[in-house]
A and B are shown apart, each in its own frame.
Chain A
Amino acid sequence: DTGVSQDPRHKITKRGQNVTFRCDPISEHNRLYWYRQTLGQGPEFLTYFQNEAQLEKSRLLSDRFSAERPKGSFSTLEIQRTEQGDSAMYLCASSFASGTENTGELFFGEGSRLTVL
């Protein structure tokens, strides 16, 4: 399968623990996005990369959230000292961007669902 894959699909953790999610994008895609989605809401932008460069991190995101894409391929999203409000679906998406443009056709993974007890 050459789609976007995310791991783990489900994570249950206790408040205060650290969690890490991994995303493997479509291989020829240079742009990678992380979004967070809660029930009844649309995907909320968290951060994105073009190759290994992190282009932007949402101002709404606390310092407990960090993301990396060290070699321009897979990416990790780490949440430190989790809080109950972090419970959500974390979606990864990838696309091909030529320069600064993006066709907008994001291909999403199945998501990683986080439950913080």
Chain B
Amino acid sequence: QKEVEQNSGPLSVPEGAIASLNCTYSDRGSQSFFWYRQYSGKSPELIMSIYSNGDKEDGRFTAQLNKASQYVSLLIRDSQPSDSATYLCAVAKFSGGYNKLIFGAGTRLAVHP
């Protein structure tokens, strides 16, 4: 079992729709969760972080966390073509007394006009 799992996609949504991206993780001890966006040929950039169960909203983005189900999701409202990218879920994993970020394989999102 991979430590962080995501559907690879592509997830195709029309402009203006809600895009829903999902992620599951294996380590029940993980406490910090992140969504990174990676445009083709570019490096990942942080868009959202979430630490507590429930929802966290930032503009058009909402991150959702359910630690009991070991599940994290990202909703993008009013999707725009500029949102087309790969979305990486990352989980902070404690090892040897320190925490490090483990990434999923990413979900490719395509927003079509």
Q: Which residues of A contact B (CB under 8 A)?
A: 33, 35, 40-45, 48, 50, 55-56, 91, 97, 100-106, 108-111
Contacts and interface: CB of A to CB of B under 8 A. Distances in A.
Interface in B22-61: 32, 34, 42-46, 49
Contacts of A42: 4, 6, 88, 103-106
Interface string B73-105: 000000000000000101010011111111111
Nearest to A91: B43
B99 A102 contact: yes
Contact of A108 (B43, B98, B102): B43
Interface residues of B, number: 26
Given A40-B105, A41-B105, A42-B105, A102 B100 contact: yes
Nearest to A97: B98
A104 B34 contact: yes
Contacts of B97: 100
A110 B38 CA distance: 11
A106 B46 contact: yes
Interface of B: 4, 6, 8, 32, 34, 42-46, 49, 88, 90, 92, 95-106
Contacts of B90: 104
Given A40-B105, A102-B98, A102-B100, 8 more contacts: A33-B100, A42-B88, A42-B103, A104-B46, A105-B34, A106-B44, A108-B43, A109-B43
A110 B34 CA distance: 20
Nearest to B90: A104
